[in-house]
C-alpha cells in the first residue's frame, strides 16, 4: 500500500529499520504487549503509530530579512544594528505590501508641504511684531546690568552668529543625536528595531519610513551625515527658504524609503535600513543642480576640488551601480531615490507644488480672519 511504503521510507523508529543494540525491535515489543488477535492487517498501522511511527510535525522557520545563513546575516555592514535575532515575515504577495507605503508617501508629502505653506504664512504675519519685540529686548539688554561670564549670553551670541540654514538644521541634528542615544539603551532595542528601521517585511511599514530618517546606529554614520547636512544647510535654505526646506527634507526621507521598499521587494532582499542619507542626498542633489559650477571638496582631501555637477553625476553613477550589483554596505536605492527627487524638485517640483500653494493659504487666511462664529443657538 502507498501509505506503508511511505512509512517504511521515513516513519520508522530510527534512521534505519535495524533494532537498537541490546534491545528488541518495535515489532517485537508490539507482539509482546498486544494480544495476537489485534495484530491483523486492520490494526497494524494503528499499533505502529502508537509504537512511534507518527510523523513528526514540520517546524516552520520564519523567513529572515535577507538571504544567507544566520551567521552571515547582517554582518555585511557596521552601520545597521545587530538584528540577527529579529525575524521578518515577507508577504506571500509582496506587491501588496507597497500599497500602504505608497498612500502614506503621497499623503505625508502633501501634508508636509501644506503645513510648510501655513507655517510661512504665520511667520510672515508675525514678522512685524517680532521686529518690535526684538527692539524692546535690545533696549532692555542695554539698561540691564551685564554679568561677566553669563553662559546664557554666550549661547545667545553663538546662536545669533549662525546662518538661517544652520539654525534650521540644528533641530534636525539634535533629533538625530537623541535617537542615537536611544540605540544605546538595551531595553529599547526591540522598539528601536521595530520603529526606527525600515523594511517592507516588517510588521510596521509606514511610520518607520519617517522615523528611520532620524535614526543612526553607528556614530561614524551619524557624524558623516550631519556634517554634510550642516555644510549644505546655508545653501539649501537660501535657495528654498526655511519652511520649504523642512517640507522637502521630511518628504525626501519618506520618498527615499519608499524607493528602497520597491527595490527590496523587486530583489527579495528585505534587510532593514536606517539613516538620513536619503534625505541628505536630496539636499545635496538640489544644491548641485541649482549651482552646478560650485566647487566642492572632500573633507579629508581638501586639496582636491571638483564642480558640484560632476560630483552629482559621480554619486548617481555609483549608487546606480551599487543598486544593480547588489552592494550591501549602503542602501543605494534610497540614495538614488533621494538624489532623483532633489533633481526633480529643483527642476520642476518648485513650480508645480510650492508656487501653487496660494489657494491653501487663502483658505487658511479666511479661517483665521473669520474665526468660529459666535451666538449659535442650541436646540
Nearest to 332 by CA among 286, 278, 280, 279: 278
- Residue 307 pairs with which residues in a beta bridge? 295
By CB atoms closer than 10 A (0-12, 13-18, 19+), residue 328 is middle
Burial pattern 199-237, b for ≥16 Cβ within 10 A else e, equals bbbbeebbebbbbbbbbbbbeebbebbbebbebbbbbbb
Known catalytic residue at 335: yes
- Which of 163, 335, 365, 378 is the catalytic position? 335
DSSP assignment of 282-342? HHHHHHHHH-TT-EEEETTEEEEEEEHHHHHHHHHHHHHHHHHHT--SS-HHHHHHHHHHH
- Which of 65, 202, 234, 277 is the catalytic position? 277
Residue holding cell 502508537?
50
The catalytic site residues sit at 277, 335
Amino acid at each position: 500500500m502507498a501509505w506503508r511504503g511511505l512509512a517504511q521510507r521515513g516513519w520508522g523508529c530510527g534512521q534505519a529499520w535495524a533494532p537498537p543494540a541490546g534491545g528488541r525491535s518495535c515489532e517485537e515489543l508490539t507482539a509482546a504487549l498486544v494480544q495476537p488477535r489485534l495484530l491483523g492487517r486492520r490494526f497494524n498501522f494503528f499499533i505502529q503509530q502508537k509504537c512511534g511511527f507518527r510523523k513528526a510535525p514540520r517546524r516552520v522557520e520564519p523567513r529572515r530579512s535577507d538571504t544567507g545563513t544566520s551567521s552571515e546575516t547582517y554582518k555585511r555592514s557596521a552601520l545597521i544594528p545587530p538584528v540577527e535575532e529579529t525575524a521578518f515575515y515577507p508577504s506571500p504577495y509582496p506587491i501588496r505590501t507597497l500599497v500602504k507605503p505608497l498612500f502614506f508617501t503621497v499623503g505625508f508629502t502633501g501634508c508636509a508641504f501644506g503645513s510648510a505653506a501655513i507655517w510661512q504664512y504665520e511667520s510672515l504675519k508675525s514678522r512685524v511684531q517680532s521686529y518690535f519685540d526684538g527692539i524692546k529686548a535690545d533696549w532692555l539688554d542695554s539698561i540691564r546690568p551685564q554679568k561677566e561670564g553669563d553662559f546664557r549670553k554666550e549661547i545667545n551670541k553663538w546662536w545669533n552668529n549662525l546662518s538661517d540654514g544652520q539654525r534650521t538644521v540644528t533641530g534636525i541634528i539634535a533629533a538625530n543625536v537623541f535617537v542615537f542615544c536611544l540605540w544605546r539603551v538595551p531595553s529599547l532595542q526591540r522598539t528601536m528595531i521595530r520603529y526606527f528601521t525600515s523594511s517592507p517585511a516588517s510588521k510596521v511599514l509606514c511610520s518607520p519610513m519617517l522615523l528611520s530618517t532620524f535614526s543612526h546606529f553607528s556614530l561614524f554614520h551619524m557624524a558623516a551625515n550631519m556634517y554634510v547636512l550642516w555644510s549644505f544647510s546655508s545653501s539649501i535654505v537660501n535657495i528654498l527658504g526655511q519652511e520649504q526646506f523642512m517640507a522637502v527634507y521630511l518628504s525626501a526621507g519618506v520618498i527615499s524609503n519608499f524607493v528602497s521598499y520597491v527595490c527590496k521587494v523587486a530583489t527579495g532582499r528585505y534587510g532593514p535600513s536606517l539613516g538620513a542619507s536619503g534625505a541628505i542626498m536630496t539636499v545635496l542633489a538640489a544644491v548641485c543642480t541649482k549651482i552646478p559650477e560650485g566647487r566642492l571638496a572632500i573633507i579629508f582631501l581638501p586639496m582636491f576640488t571638483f564642480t558640484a555637477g560632476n560630483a552629482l553625476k559621480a554619486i548617481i553613477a555609483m549608487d546606480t551601480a551599487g543598486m544593480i550589483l547588489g552592494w550591501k554596505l549602503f542602501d543605494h536605492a534610497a540614495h538614488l531615490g533621494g538624489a532623483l527627487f532633489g533633481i526633480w524638485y529643483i527642476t520642476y517640483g518648485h513650480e508645480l507644488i510650492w508656487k501653487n500653494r496660494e489657494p491653501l493659504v487663502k483658505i487658511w487666511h479666511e479661517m483665521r480672519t473669520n474665526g468660529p462664529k459666535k451666538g449659535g443657538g442650541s436646540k
